[in-house]
Amino acid sequence: MKIRTMLLAATVAAIAFPAFAAWPERPLTLVVPWAAGGGTDAVARILAAGLEKELGKPVNVVNRTGGGGVVGHTEMVNAKPDGYTIGLATAEVTTYYWSNTAPFTYEKLTPLALVNFDSAAFNVAANSPWGDLRAALDDIKKQPVGHYKLSGMAAGAAYHLAFAGLLQLEGINPKSVAVVPSQGAAPGFQELASGGVQIVPSSLPEGKPMFDAGRVKALAVMSKEVISAFPKVPTVKQAIGKDYEGGTWRGLAAPAGLPADVTARLVEATDKVANSDAYKNFLAERGFGYAFAKGPAFGTFLATQHKNNGEIMGALGLRLRQ
């Protein structure tokens, strides 16, 4: 009788408290807000391969393009917060709210990890009269608004905001240099080499073909440290004695409201992948900048980016919300 009672209690307990399989139980989707074949897509695919090994489930990369990244970021924000849909957020997510391009801010995302930062460089033509960053900034400050022009992106893009922030650091009107919009750095460098514009703020790897051809030079890079592949290019600190960082970035994120245990599992898995030799070597070989900020630290980074971009966009007349 006693044994039967114990078996019955065990059965009732099993019914009342069923055993749940550990998360994840099925494949994940990694949303990329930019087209296949681009830099963000490449970073997403190496991350996905690593996460598959760490989580033991397939991680399928899905490109959701359109609206300057708005379509893909909107899908990240609106996904069910169960961890099965995550995304590779990019710098643009901290500008959409200010430009009234999308109704959400970074607060609608659960920050998992910052995994990349590509610092902007101050690139000029090889025959530019500016021999260093100080000479360039002093000259820009003396000239009327619009006297000098830059290209390589659309107005309000990450590298434009990085450049404008550098001007603000020096007390220069960020509107001083006009933007000649282009579909990326390549056509911008062609304009630079032909004399149509005087500056292209871009990553150093994007300028390498033109550096190698002797048509372009970089006066400084907006990073904390010298980029190892470009040891002759000084940082802003080395050039003018002031700390300044600016550029574009990518980070893994999920919808807001993600359960704490799922968040912890994804953060742990991303930590291992992003700090692996395979991932770091991948970035280095392709000229991407390495950066890592885990969970809450990435959240702090997003908050700072949101605030700073709002201020810079306001100064540039691109801010449509308060």
pLDDT for the residue 286: 82
Higher pLDDT, 252 or 36: 252
Q: How many residues does the chain have?
A: 322
Which of the four pLDDT bands, split at 50, 70 and 90, describes residue 4?
Answer: low
In this structure, which amino acid lies at residue 263?
A: T
**Measured distance between the N- and C-terminal CA atoms of the chain, rounded to whole angstroms:** 74
pLDDT for 233-279, tens place per residue?
Answer: 999 999 999 999 999 999 999 999 999 999 999 999 999 999 999 99
The whole-number average pLDDT for the span 135-157 is 95
Write the CA distances from 115 to 44, 193, 239, 304, integer angstroms.
Answer: 10, 33, 27, 17
For 135, list phi and psi in degrees, rounded to 5: -65, -40
Compute the distance between CA of residue 128 and CA of residue 209 in angstroms, rounded to an integer. Answer: 18
Q: What pTM, to 2 d.p., does this model score? A: 0.86
For 40, list phi and psi in degrees, rounded to 5: -65, -40
DSSP-derived secondary structure for 221-262 = ESSSS--TT-TTSPBHHHHHS-----EEEEEEEEETT--HHH
pLDDT for 172-198, tens place per residue?
Answer: 999 999 999 987 888 999 999 999 999
Helix (H) or strand (E) holding 142: helix 133-142
**292 pLDDT above the threshold of 90:** yes
Compute the distance between CA of residue 114 and CA of residue 134 in angstroms, rounded to an integer. Answer: 31
Higher pLDDT, 288 or 72: 72
Quote the Cα angle for 209-211-217, to 5°: 145
Percent of the chain, pLDDT > 90? 84
**5 pLDDT above the threshold of 80:** no
pLDDT for the residue 96: 94
Maximum Cα–Cα distance across the chain: 98
Compute the distance between CA of residue 73 and CA of residue 63 in angstroms, rounded to an integer. Answer: 11
Helix (H) or strand (E) holding 78: helix 70-78
